């Protein structure tokens, strides 16, 4: 699973049916493989968008008022 995710992230053009076969041999279902693919692809997409815009986590934290260590800004969880 991790080899698949790393390969999809680093060299997506090199993916082959053998990559899927190895995961099926390890007991993963097609749904499992799809989940791994979607999560890996989503993180790659989001990181490329952020990198392309020059956005880093520190930039986001400054603009949103988030202090990485102080989470007191978060709203309380509503209780019923």
Enumerate the domain spans of the chain.
2-64
CA-closest candidate to residue 37, choices 58, 20, 14 = 20
How far apart are alpha carbons 12 and 24 in whole angstroms? 19
- Regions in the chain scoring below 50 on pLDDT: none
The pLDDT value given to residue 78: 58
pTM score > 0.75 for this model? no
**Which top CATH class is 2-64?**
mainly alpha
The pLDDT value given to residue 63: 64
């Amino acid at each position: 699973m991790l080899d698949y995710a790393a390969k999809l992230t680093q060299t997506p053009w090199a993916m082959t049916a053998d990559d899927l076969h190895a995961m099926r041999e390890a007991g993963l279902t097609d749904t499992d493989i799809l989940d791994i693919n979607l999560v890996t692809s989503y993180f790659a997409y989001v990181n490329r968008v952020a990198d392309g815009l020059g956005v880093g986590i520190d930039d986001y934290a400054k603009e949103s008022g988030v202090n990485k260590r102080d989470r007191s800004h978060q709203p309380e969880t509503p209780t019923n």
